Structure 1
Amino acid sequence: MSRPTVVIGNWKMNMKIKETIDFITELSPMLSKTQGKVCLSVPSTLLKVASEAARGSEIEIGAQDVSQYESGAYTGEISTTMIQDSGGEFSLIGHSERRMYYHEDDEMIKEKVTRAILGGLVPVLCVGETQEQKESGQTEKVLLDQLEKALGFLNENEASAVIIAYEPVWAIGTGHAATPEIAQEVHGVIRGFVRKKWGEKNAFRTPILYGGSVSPDTIKELIKMPDIDGALVGGASLKVEAFAKIVNISRETKS
């Protein structure tokens, strides 16, 4: 028995209200009926309108980041309760762009994972290595370090709520995805971490997604790999036909 696929579209700082409504309205009937989860990670300003547009469909809406604080004087932040109040069900945490441009460190990411779980949001933890780290043979060390610091404190039940996304920083936005073999090797390391920490049951059911220049052309060979359960899609998630193809190819290949 295989795990249901999970495909998350990360819109980053793109889309406006009408575009959001049109996209979701067009996407829903394009999706195959094969089992799987389809999600959109939208800008905070679009959470409410996206969740309303997705009501009655299988599309789940989530945020791109969440504060490590419950509430208070933290200008510009968004809390778990605000996300949920706007219809969000999950949040990305530790995306490479947050780590790079906003200097989010391992301690902050751990706090955000904690806050998401306490607040009832599904945390989608992003991990990945840079080109320099890859070339120096540090991929496994970097990933295991990121995973341990962000998730190592969780108990088995808490860990079962987590989705993990591997996003090789060196592949993002380049148009060149990791080869299926390289991606599978890394996903195997990640699943091995989960197995060692929380046992075979959690290792089997934890979705591990690939993110890094995912497109309709690259997804089929990637999703054939046994430890790749879906995708975190960037640029291609802004085009409804391309995103629907990625979702449908993922579902049909794994079914």
Structure 2
Amino acid sequence: MRKNIVAGNWKMNKTLPQAIELINEIKNNKPNNNAEIILATPFPFLAKAVELVAGSDIKIAAQNMHQAEGGAFTGEVSATMLTSIGVNTVILGHSERRAYFHENDALLANKVDTALAHDMTVIFCFGEELKDRQNDNHFNVVEYQLRDGLFHISKENWKNIVLAYEPVWAIGTGETASPEQAQEMHLFVRNLVDKVYGSEIAENVSILYGGSVKPDNAKEIFSKPDVDGGLIGGAALNANDFFGIISGI
């Protein structure tokens, strides 16, 4: 049975005092429903975040990690470092990592392998840009991202995988993805997983939507049969907005 998940990706926002305040507010006042809550804070806050959510059902995730076990990689963070402080979930392949830091599918495949070797849960992001959607190439782009970055893993590893569809064309472009468009892509992805790995894995993997989910559209988006929750950006930085989205599950 797949999980309903709402993951908040804080990106490069908040100071430590602000982070502590927000985590405590979420922990103490979150809606009581069946949604699993994940908070992906900036690296400097991760250890404190793990400490703050101890004893609750909230999980803490890293926004990225390096593919190497260690070594001369100034400024990078390894899987061993993350797991040593109790962080066992990581976002990989986010559209901003792909666009601004030129992370390609081959690199992401290596990162996935490293995370899985440490028994981490991977939130694997994928999605097409506006030009891909306009050229009716969106399904092909998503399929290649999944096949080249993720579909090398074994069936056994899928228990540690969460998928997150990000329509890059619907984030900060003035364009809007409809709930129907989200469902269309999520169904395509689930069918693709079915073809490669079988129906049991396809039916049990959670697929999150990451295209500007807000409190006023969350319920409609989450009501779609193949949308299992959201990867939330800006709205995750405000407790009331985040609660409104969680309540939409």
Common fold, TM-score beyond 0.5?
yes
Match runs of 1:77-92 below 5 Å:
77-92=76-91
Q: Say yes or no: does 1:188 pair with 2:154.
A: no
Q: CA deviation at 1:3?
A: 3.4
CA distance in 1 between partners of 2:142 and 2:15 (Å): 35
Q: Say yes or no: does 1:61 pair with 2:60.
A: yes
Which amino acid letter does the alignment assign opposite residue 188 of structure 1?
Answer: L
**Preserved CA contact (<8 Å) 1:37 1:59:** yes
Q: Gaps spanning 5+ residues in structure 1: where?
A: 251-255
**1:76 corresponds to which residue?**
75
**1:253 corresponds to which residue?**
none
**1:150 corresponds to which residue?**
149
**Preserved CA contact (<8 Å) 1:174 1:213:** no
CA distance in 1 between partners of 2:240 and 2:174 (Å): 18
CA distance in 1 between partners of 2:146 and 2:159 (Å): 14
CA distance in 2 between partners of 1:75 and 1:173 (Å): 31
Q: 4+ runs of 1 displaced by more than 4 Å?
A: 174-177
Q: Say yes or no: does 1:48 pair with 2:47.
A: yes
Match runs of 1:191-202 below 5 Å:
191-202=190-201
Report the secondary structure of 2:2's partner residue: coil
Q: CA deviation at 1:34?
A: 2.0
**2:126 corresponds to which residue?**
127
CA distance in 1 between partners of 2:214 and 2:35 (Å): 18
CA distance in 2 between partners of 1:238 and 1:37 (Å): 17
**Preserved CA contact (<8 Å) 1:20 1:49:** no
Relative to the length of structure 1, the TM-score reads: 0.94
**1:166 corresponds to which residue?**
165
Q: CA deviation at 1:80?
A: 0.7
Q: CA deviation at 1:234?
A: 0.3
**Preserved CA contact (<8 Å) 1:177 1:218:** no
Q: CA deviation at 1:29?
A: 2.7
- What whole-Å deviation, never above 9, does each CA across 1:177-212 have from its counterpart, x for those lacking one? 410100000000110111111111111110000001
**Preserved CA contact (<8 Å) 1:129 1:139:** yes
**1:243 corresponds to which residue?**
242
Report the secondary structure of 2:145's partner residue: helix
CA distance in 1 between partners of 2:234 and 2:37 (Å): 16
Relative to the length of structure 2, the TM-score reads: 0.96
CA distance in 2 between partners of 1:129 and 1:153 (Å): 21
Which amino acid letter does the alignment assign opposite residue 125 of structure 2?
Answer: C
CA distance in 2 between partners of 1:155 and 1:46 (Å): 33
**1:12 corresponds to which residue?**
11
- What whole-Å deviation, never above 9, does each CA across 1:117-158 have from its counterpart, x for those lacking one? 001111111000000010000010000000001112111111
**1:99 corresponds to which residue?**
98
- What whole-Å deviation, never above 9, does each CA across 1:160-180 have from its counterpart, x for those lacking one? 311010001111235754101
Question: What CA RMSD, in Å, does the superposition of the two structures yield over aligned residues?
Answer: 1.3
**1:137 corresponds to which residue?**
136
Report the secondary structure of 1:125's partner residue: strand
